[in-house]
Chain A
Amino acid sequence: MKLLDRLFEGSTRRMAAVTSRRTALARIGSWVVAGSALPLLLPIDRVAGRADAAEAGRPGDPGDPSKCDYWRYCSIDGFLCTCCGGSINTCPPGAEVSLVTWVGTCHNPADDKDYIVAYNDCCGKHSCAQCACTRNDSEQPMYRPFNNNDINWCLGAKANVYNCTVAVIRGVAS
């Protein structure tokens, strides 16, 4: 303790002897001001603190394709192939895509356009049971079977066992 006392006393006396106190205060003050202003002035990516900071995705294609709230899944009812070893538009290995399917529209918030999305089912393997999503934005009741997602669309594949669902963009709805 004594050592620390002596050290600080010595350095303080030396500082007082060598510099003018006003200069020192002015310099320290200007460094404090500049130092606190610097992060505000520098071109730093400041997204991290905002509410949409968690939003993943590429420019023009916002959202996480392995989450139910991804924009292309606005009318999906089933398991996401992105969680089952496939991708947003490919079936998992070993599963067969059913060509017969149903088609809806989803709104892309990035460019404010409605896209035609086909919800092809992947079939022939056991139910994937990962990322179950039910969202029915442009779905129609069962009496319009071609616009209904409660149907097992694996009816168009060789094996009718349902595995998961992809969301393929077919064009812009306009």
Chain B
Amino acid sequence: MRSFLLGVLLLAAVVPAVQGRSIPQPGQPVSIGTTPAPPPGGAGYRPAVNWQLQCAGCHLEDGRGARANDVPRLQGFVGRFLEVDGGREFLLRVPGVSQSALSDAETAALLNWIIADGMAGASRPADFQPFTEAEVARLRHQALLDLPGTRAKLIGAIRARGFAIEDGLAP
């Protein structure tokens, strides 16, 4: 009798954990007509679609950023980084760019789209040279060890050039 009770107690202790583990129905059918998702890199999407899939979740659709989560504003400002030494390399090495699932060519196309196709707005430098696949390949693997420090230095340099800091984070 005692072992039976112990068994029941053991089951009562284990069952919720097992259910919790498999909380969405195990053996749940796949969606109607589903196909395996294409790999994020090399899917051949337009830069605007890659923006949506890789960036817009946090920087938001129009690139205005999310102040509450320290997500910087890109809209109308991101081009200022190209005005200062090290800024171009910085844009290729920030985690969202360097660690994205996109290929080097797609990353270059996406950055060019951001700078030259409207999002950077007036912050686009007059002499903007498009990013190239080889440039992305060379720089994205150099880890940025001190992200806040590097960024603060660059922001200081941009300010020294006389540009307003409209990254959505500046006090």
Where the two chains meet, the residues of A that have a C-beta atom closer than 8 Å to any C-beta of B are 55, 62-63, 68-71, 73-75, 99-109, 114, 116, 118, 132-135, 137-138, 140, 143-144, 146-147, 155-156, 158, 170-171, 173-174
Contacts and interface: CB of A to CB of B under 8 A. Distances in A.
- Please classify the interface of chain B as helix (H, G, I), strand (E, B), loop, or mixed, using the class held by over half of its residues: loop
A135 B31 contact: yes
Nearest to B56: A103
Nearest to B61: A170
Contacts, number: 111
30 contacts: A62-B32, A68-B24, A71-B31, A75-B37, A100-B57, A100-B69, A101-B57, A102-B57, A103-B53, A103-B56, A104-B37, A105-B38, A105-B53, A107-B31, A107-B33, A107-B37, A108-B33, A116-B52, A132-B23, A134-B24, A140-B40, A146-B57, A146-B58, A146-B96, A146-B100, A156-B68, A170-B52, A170-B61, A173-B45, A174-B49
Given A100-B71, A137-B34, A146-B58, 9 more contacts: A68-B28, A100-B66, A103-B53, A105-B38, A109-B32, A116-B49, A134-B28, A135-B31, A155-B69
Contacts of B55: 146
B99 A107 contact: no
B49 to A, nearest CB: 5
B49 A106 contact: no
A26 B132 CA distance: 86
A156 B34 contact: no
Interface of B: 23-25, 28-38, 40, 43, 45-46, 49, 52-58, 60-61, 66, 68-69, 71, 96, 99-101
